[in-house]
Structure 1
Amino acid sequence: MRYVRMLLVALLAIILVGVALANRQLVTVSLFPGRLDRYMGGDWQVQMPLFLVIILALLAGMVLGLVWEWMRETTVRQESARRAHELQLLEREVRGLRVTHHAPRDEVLAILDAPKPAPAPAAAPGATVPANTPLPASPAALPARR
């Protein structure tokens, strides 16, 4: 991207030099139309090379465009500043909450932080009843099936 930008700047410089060399004749630039300048008191005309008039007109257009965009984006800048201020307030509030709620006092956090109970021992391979479950003394003690 850097080389593309340098290439465009070099191309623009070559074009501007070409315009300057092709338009070296002097022209008269007047601020007021016709002979109105004599009523304004003073000489409101100037003679300069045509390429200078072209370049100054381009620069004036660029400056006017920049000022226009700056004025148009005023509402965007104001909204951005308002949101930045709101963000600072919220960050300050979060910092304060972190200081005051540093220890986990929440019941859910206390449950999550509690140690886990040991798992029950696994059944022996092939057994249908876990190893620690007492067997009934007689078949009569078993619950009746329906």
Structure 2
Amino acid sequence: MLRYLRFIFIGFTGLVLLTLALANRGQVQLRLLPEGIGNMLGTAGGWSMPLFVVILGSVAIGILVGFIWEWMREMRLRQAAKVQTKTVARLEKELAVLKDSNSVPPRDEVLAILAGDGRK
């Protein structure tokens, strides 16, 4: 059921993006600097492209920046989890060694006397 919902969502998203692209086919001039400052610096050129490319490109760059930001934010959490995993592995190994060394209880003479009837 979720598989079909995923396909429906992908199809709906594709239809919305296609509609957006068809509605915004007009050419726009994209510049790095405003026209006045660009003329002063000698970089008055720009790129001419359809508006939907600018819109979808901006969305894609925003998503990419968000992913990178989140990855960097979670880096310290991943490092802490790595340290905890190493600590758990070390403690489990230590516990296994202690269990092996305590598997045969040492023979205590007092307990042996108490466990028996006390006569020799």
How far apart, CA to CA, are the structure 2 residues paired with 1:44 and 1:96?
A: 72
Say if 1:27 and 1:48, in contact at 8 Å, map to a contact too. yes
In 2: Cα distance, 1:44 partner to 1:94 partner: 70
Where in structure 1 are there 5+ consecutive unaligned residues?
Answer: 112-146
Report Cα offsets for 1:43-75 as digits up to 9, x if no partner.
641011111111001001101111121222223
Q: Deviations over 1:92-113 (max 9, x none)?
A: 212322333333x178xxx9xx
8 A contact 1:37–1:43 mirrored in 2 = yes
TM-score, length-scaled by structure 2: 0.76
Return the alpha-carbon distance in structure 1 between the equivalents of residues 21 and 66 of structure 2.
Answer: 24
Whether contact under 8 Å (2:35, 2:44) holds in the other structure is no
| 1:1-35 deviation digits (Å, cap 9, x = unpaired) | 22212211111111111111111111111111223
Cα distance, 1:25–1:97 mapped onto 2, change above 3 Å: same
**What runs of 5+ residues in structure 2 fail to find an aligned partner?**
112-120
Higher relative contact order (CA 8 A, sep 6+): 2
- Alpha-carbon distance, 1:86 to partner: 0.7
More helix by share: 2
TM-score (norm. length: structure 1): 0.64
8 Å CA contact 2:28–2:51 kept in 1: the answer is yes
Corresponding residue of 1:76? 77
Number of residue pairs the alignment of both structures matches: 107
When Rg is computed on C-alpha atoms for both structures, the one with the higher figure is 1
SS at 1:35's partner residue?
helix
1:1-146 correspondence runs (5 A): 1-42=2-43, 44-103=45-104, 105=105
